[in-house]
A = this chain, B = another copy of it.
Amino acid sequence: MPDRIDSMRKTPIQNRGRQTMDDLFEATAQLLDKMSPDEVNTNRIADRAGFSIGTLYSYFPNKASLLREMALREVRRFEARFEETIEASRAQQPDHVIRQIVRLALTPLKGRHRVRRKLVLLVGQDPTVQAAMHQAIDRMTGRFLECVGIDPNDMSRARRFLIFRSVLGPVRAAALHAPDLLALPEFEEDLVRVSLALLGMPLEPAPIL
């Protein structure tokens, strides 16, 4: 799976192309949902999307770039939903804002948590995706602090790094290995508590249970 520089073959400004790419992404998602990541190959993707393999390769220079674009799109989508959430929480108390964000993280798009996990397995080494994810998290952290009125410079890098990641990591783990937790109020509660602890704003002493 060689790695080219140019990520896409044709700029999908045309709606035609945009639709085809979406079809390919959707096909990929369905396959990831159904089978192990290394069974997902370009032939199967094209086939399921209802295109010939050649069409796939006229939209993406190679397999890696298709997966990369798909991952980047996921990141962008999450950030967009985050942005909406922040906007809707303007001028609210920090704990309320955090709770909204935790809920956002807990609500997988179309139940596609498994797809996302497998996508990570396929794209995990891709530096572009890595960078995009971490920059997105950093941007979202910044937006959040701004929203709740904290100057980022008043907070250590370590803590800024942790605020969201201490929520996102466990959510992913739960989604994969204990999905029922996602629906429990006390799970949401504890995630909020973690973030607030890092903001120096503990809730009332947490009940042990």
Contacts and interface: CB of A to CB of B under 8 A. Distances in A.
Nearest to A204: B200
Contact of A205 (B184, B193, B202): B202
Interface string A167-201: 01110111011100100101101110110111110
A121 interface: yes
A202 B208 contact: no
Contacts of A159: 186, 190
Interface residues of A, number: 51
23 contacts: A1-B38, A36-B125, A130-B176, A134-B177, A154-B208, A158-B186, A158-B187, A158-B189, A161-B170, A161-B178, A162-B187, A165-B170, A165-B173, A166-B194, A169-B169, A169-B173, A190-B198, A193-B197, A197-B197, A197-B202, A197-B206, A198-B206, A199-B206
Q: This chain: how many copies in the complex?
A: 4
Pairs of residues from A and B, 6 with the lowest C-beta to C-beta distance, nearest first: A169-B169, A197-B197, A200-B206, A158-B187, A165-B170, A202-B202
A187 B168 CA distance: 17
A146 to B, nearest CB: 15
Contacts of A109: none
A158 B177 contact: no
A198 B209 contact: no
Nearest to A151: B208
Interface of A: 1, 36-38, 117-118, 121, 124-125, 130, 134, 150, 154-159, 161-162, 165-166, 168-170, 172-174, 176-178, 181, 184, 186-187, 189-191, 193-194, 196-200, 202, 205-209
Nearest to A157: B181
A158 B178 CA distance: 9
A208 B200 contact: yes
Nearest to A203: B197
Nearest to A206: B200
A159 to B, nearest CB: 5
